């Protein structure tokens, strides 16, 4: 149980285009979802926290207009990287948790490469 699916696993796009990444909880209702960014050989940095039906809470230094997060249902959150540039290339990972369970379940990650 507690499976989180992230799609796509890899995406290559041209500079200036927008990319959407989906994060789905397959067998539970995720009251909270998290989006992380990971640079090569580095740790995970939390970008934002989203609760279903509410606006996401962004960490300091993360541009909310650049990284649009939508958590429209209890099983789906999306991260849209708008007007992507090469410096946005990274590994993006989502996670989800639900009330009463004190852990986060992680997706497999999305490798974004912006040319």
Partner 1 sequence: AQSVTQLGSHVSVSEGALVLLRCNYSSSVPPYLFWYVQYPNQGLQLLLKYTSAATLVKGINGFEAEFKKSETSFHLTKPSAHMSDAAEYFCAVSETGGGKLIFGQGTELSVKP
The residues binding partner 1 (CB under 8 A) are 4, 6, 32, 34, 42-44, 46, 49, 91, 93, 95, 97-99, 101-109, 111
Whose tokens are 């039906």? That residue is 53
Nearer to partner 1, 23 or 114 (CB): 23
The nearest distance, CB 84 to partner 1, in angstroms, is 20
SS3 95: strand
DSSP state of 92: E
The nearest distance, CB 53 to partner 1, in angstroms, is 18
The nearest distance, CB 109 to partner 1, in angstroms, is 5
Nearer to partner 1, 16 or 64 (CB): 64
Q: What is the 3-state secondary structure (H, E, C) of 14-39?
A: CCCCCEEEEEEECCCCCCEEEEEEEC
| Under 8 Å between Cβ of 94 and 107 | yes
The nearest distance, CB 108 to partner 1, in angstroms, is 4
Nearer to partner 1, 72 or 108 (CB): 108
Preceding peptide of 8 cis, ω within 30°: yes
């Amino acid at each position: 149980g507690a499976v989180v699916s992230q799609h796509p696993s890899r995406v290559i796009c041209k500079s200036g285009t927008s990319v959407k990444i989906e994060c789905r909880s397959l067998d539970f209702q995720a009251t909270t979802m998290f989006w992380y960014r990971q640079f090569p050989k580095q740790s995970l940095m939390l970008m934002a926290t989203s609760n279903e039906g509410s606006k996401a809470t962004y960490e300091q230094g993360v541009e909310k207009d650049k990284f649009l997060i939508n958590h429209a249902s209890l099983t789906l959150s999306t991260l849209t990287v708008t007007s992507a540039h090469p410096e946005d290339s990274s590994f993006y990972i989502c996670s989800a948790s639900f009330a009463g369970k004190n852990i986060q379940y992680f997706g497999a990650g999305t490798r974004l490469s912006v040319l």
